Structure 1
């Protein structure tokens, strides 16, 4: 198969180059067709979802309120505790039957590192029921 070149003097040989312009035109037409028809192809299944109302989670007596403020100070049921007291109280709480839930309330500006340390210490002491308390009335 011969390819055309500038230095050959024979003009009778066939030119073996592919003309790309018609291929590009077809591709652009197909692209426009797919862009127009793609939104029409979304099939949504119509189902009747159950209705539910969410209510505030009532606090049971067998839980521990653990608050962490922006300064990384930890409060056990409203009482300020240090790291050693926190470890002792977590160990005592894990020995209770039934084991209480640990509800962590952290301020919005509390460093995540402190929250992770408290959760790690609670897990290390044997507490398995840990939850976060949020305020659903305020959206950021």
Structure 2
């Protein structure tokens, strides 16, 4: 394998949705860089057989882990080739464990727990997420507006 490096864009973003940049994928690991404007989030997600890792490079936010109860299955969806964008209606999620994060913070969610990231600051939040590639049962949630 060839050594690979990448630079995560940190310039401000004015997009109406969080921006994801896939930076690496193999049969053992996948990594993505995220830029979230104030108020944007990475929807809560759960990987049944892969731990999730979030490293914050810039900005401030909240790492959320749903430690006591899974989100309601009626508010969750599993993306697939046949079901890529037709997610269920947005709905409130149960209260997560909330952990303030900033530059240099690392959040870890064990396999089987839902977790998400919200930009609670007033500037762009830049983060890198990493999971093992066994995401066969990965499911995402949809948040209420």
**TM-score of the superposed pair, with normalisation by structure 1:** 0.24
> Larger Rg: 1 or 2?
1
Q: Which has the higher contact order (CA 8 A, sep 6+)?
A: 2
| Greater share of helix | 1
**TM-score of the superposed pair, with normalisation by structure 2:** 0.24
